[in-house]
């Protein structure tokens, strides 16, 4: 017998994200910072080189690859909180749609730039350094957690961004990315999620029409394992 963790399904449509222009300032500044580093010799590029030298001088044998997993932690926290019965801004179906859209926007942007810029990694392992994909993914997930739970408590967002920042720092300590790669990656991650929240309602309307869909996506526990039960009409 399934035991629903949420006693009441979320059916309300809360897709009313209307950010101010100022919400896009920080990610734009981060991306611009990274792009400037690509323009030949300048103070930002010099900082890349000195930061790399200092990290390698102080920690030449550093090799901790928690960043490969940490990049997903903020997004997983959204599902964990839902499973614990703490409701976010949107139901799980919409939240998942927004996150997947964010990942698609971020992935396309980062992959394209890696190919176009052809920047060599600081450890000389490849020419796909700019921007940092791990960092972009982590910050996209952190912004996702922030948007879903900032009305419950801003500390969820702070925690997500702390994990994302740690992911970026580890990318530099592991000598996989330059500082500007990480800063730009953070910008692309944040911006991708903000854009996803803007355009998802329009995409949803194209798919399901103007009528409100009636659906439930409820975490459940059955046969000693967690899962989700779904039912509804569109």
Q: What's 196's domain CATH number?
A: 1.20.144
**Residue 86 neighbours by CB distance under 10 Å:** 15
φ/ψ bin of 118: left (φ > 0), alpha (ψ from -120 to 50), beta (otherwise): left
Query: Does residue 233 form part of some domain?
Result: no
Query: Does residue 196 form part of some domain?
Result: yes
pLDDT tens over the chain, length 234 residues = 333 333 334 434 467 777 788 899 999 999 999 999 999 999 999 999 999 999 999 999 899 999 999 999 999 999 999 999 999 999 999 999 999 999 999 999 999 999 999 999 999 999 999 999 999 999 999 999 999 999 999 999 999 999 999 999 999 999 999 999 999 999 999 999 999 999 999 998 888 776 555 545 555 545 555 454 545 544
Q: Please say whether the beta carbons of 218 and 5 come within 8 A.
A: yes
3-class SS of residue 215: strand
- Cα dist from 165 to 151, 172, 218, whole Å: 22, 11, 31
Count of structural domains, the chain? 1
Which domain covers residue 142, as residue numbers?
Answer: 17-206
Closest to 61 measured CA to CA, from 177, 182, 174, 176: 174
Provide the greatest CA pair distance for the chain: 65
Query: Does residue 1 form part of some domain?
Result: no
Query: Does residue 27 form part of some domain?
Result: yes
Query: Does residue 147 form part of some domain?
Result: yes
Alpha-carbon radius of gyration of the chain:
20
């Amino acid at each position: 017998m399934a035991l629903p963790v949420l006693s009441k399904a979320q059916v309300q449509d809360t897709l009313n994200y209307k950010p101010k222009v100022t919400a896009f300032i920080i990610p734009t500044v981060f991306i611009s910072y990274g792009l400037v580093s690509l323009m030949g010799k300048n103070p930002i590029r010099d900082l890349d080189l000195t930061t790399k030298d200092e990290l390698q001088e102080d920690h030449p044998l550093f090799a901790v690859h928690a960043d490969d997993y940490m990049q997903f932690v903020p997004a997983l926290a959204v599902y964990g909180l839902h499973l614990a019965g703490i409701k976010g801004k949107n139901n799980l179906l919409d939240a998942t749609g927004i996150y997947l859209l964010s990942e698609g926007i971020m992935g396309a942007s980062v992959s394209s730039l890696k190919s176009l810029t052809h920047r060599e990694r600081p450890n000389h392992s490849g020419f796909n350094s700019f921007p940092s994909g791990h960092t972009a993914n982590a910050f996209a997930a952190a912004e996702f957690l922030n948007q879903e739970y900032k009305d419950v408590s801003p500390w969820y967002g702070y925690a997500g961004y702390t994990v994302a920042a740690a992911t970026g720092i580890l990318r530099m300590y592991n000598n996989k990315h330059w500082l500007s790669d990480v800063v730009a990656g953070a910008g692309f991650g944040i911006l991708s999620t903000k854009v996803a929240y803007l355009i998802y309602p329009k995409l949803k309307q194209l798919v399901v029409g103007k009528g409100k869909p009636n659906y439930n996506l409820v975490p459940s526990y059955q046969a000693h394992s967690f899962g989700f039960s779904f039912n509804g009409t569109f």
